Amino acid sequence: MPLTPVEVSQLVAAGVDVTVERSEARCFADDDYARAGAMLTETPWQHAPLDAVIIALKELEESDAPIAHTQIHFSHTFKGQDGAARVLARYARGGGEIYDLEFLHDDAGRRAAAFGYWAGFVGAALGLLGVAHFSSARPGVVDESFPSLSPYTDREALIAAVEAALASAALQRDLRVMIMGALGRCGTGARDLLGSLSRAIELSAWDLPEFSAAQKPIEEIIGHDLFINCVYLREPIAPMIDESLLARNTRLSVISDVSCDPTSADNPIRVYDRITSLEQPFVRARDGGAKPVYVQAIDHLPTLLPREASQEYAAALFPYLKDFLVAGIPSNTWTNARKCFELALEEHGLVN
């Protein structure tokens, strides 16, 4: 969640009218928001007054209906993703605008708020759950039906699930795990998950120096059981993995693509082409007929630890959001985010 009841109460105290759409799927109950001073509604955001700012998390449902509201959420439309032009055209026709949460930066150029740590933490856990699951298939038979996922109550419950899966799996050797982007927020979360386990894991923690020095695709990846990609894609980079690499694979079992850019032309993990889901977390990579490799590419991993992830994210976002809603003159964080939206419109020929 981009706002917990704590932040809602602070906005209300600052004179902001907050309306929350009712939901039974959140980790925070409707009553929690009501006690924080929000009005509750069952009316969809499309029917909100046009001067209302719509704050959400993920991209919108598919539609061609024009959008006239100002929206703050992860739109996944500013980096050349498939379908971006169709989404942006809705705003161009309706006169609305997007302030994409991914493109909110402070004056030093750092992300104002990010789910990266918890995405990495959960991505590492899910990668190990995949390794355990696929290693337990009967000889000569690979079971691709990894069970659907539901949110965990807290990080301890997730760690316990990984410990139990590894203990019961048919793993005949020490685990080798490689993290790419190990020093960032996401990589730090992945390292913390691995470090919290009782099982010994041989870790290769790579970041920009190792990536830059390596030949591409990166041969070292297939010397591990699990590869975790935590690289934030800002610009085109050489592919880390392709089908020619996996055709030589004898060890790699799972790729946990936490960065998850399969619909981008610059996707550095070029062995799959679609986002996976909580219902179907893994897809088999295009591997040239060698040892099967499975990819998790869920683009909302922190939802598996919703309370911890929401509390950290909302606390980081709140000062910027309060500034946007209360201050008379928007800060550089918001003017620059608006420029990103305008540039995306221009790139798709949607400016009159």
- The rounded Cα 68 to chain-centroid distance in angstroms is 27
DSSP state of 226: E
- What mean pLDDT comes out for the span 60-88? 90
Which pLDDT belongs to residue 235?
A: 76
Residues in the chain: 352
| CA-to-CA dists, residue 8 to 5, 15, 36, 243, angstroms | 5, 11, 6, 48
* Phi-psi category of residue 218: left, alpha or beta, with phi > 0 → left and psi -120 to 50 → alpha: beta
| CA-to-CA dists, residue 315 to 4, 16, 321, angstroms | 9, 17, 10
- The helix (H) or strand (E) run that includes residue 179 is strand 175-180
CB 76 within 8 A of CB 103: no
Q: Which tokens in the block code for residue 246? A: 């996996």
Residue found by looking up tokens 């550089």 in the block: 332
Taking 60 as the threshold, does the pLDDT of residue 142 lie above it?
no
Q: Which residue has the higher pLDDT, 199 or 173?
A: 199
Q: At what angle do helices 116-135 and 185-195 cross, to 10 degrees?
A: 50
Instruction: Provide the 10 A C-beta neighbour count for residue 322.
Output: 15
- What mean pLDDT comes out for the span 243-269? 90
Residue-wise pLDDT tens digits, 205-241: 999 999 999 999 999 999 999 999 999 877 778 899 9
Which pLDDT belongs to residue 264?
A: 78
Active site residues: 58, 76
Q: Any alpha helices (H) in the chain, and if so which ranges? A: 5-13, 30-35, 84-94, 116-135, 155-168, 185-195, 208-213, 243-246, 306-326, 332-347
Domains delineated in the chain: 5-103+306-347 (3.40.50.720), 116-304 (3.40.50.720)
Residue type, 54: I
Q: Which residue has the higher pLDDT, 275 or 290?
A: 275
* Portion of the chain with pLDDT greater than 70, in percent: 97
- Positive or negative, the CA dihedral 20, 24, 28, 33 is positive
pLDDT category at 138 given cuts 50, 70, 90 is low
Taking 70 as the threshold, does the pLDDT of residue 88 lie above it?
yes
Q: Which of 58-62, 146-150, 221-225 has the lowest mean pLDDT?
A: 58-62
pLDDT category at 82 given cuts 50, 70, 90 is confident
pLDDT category at 266 given cuts 50, 70, 90 is confident
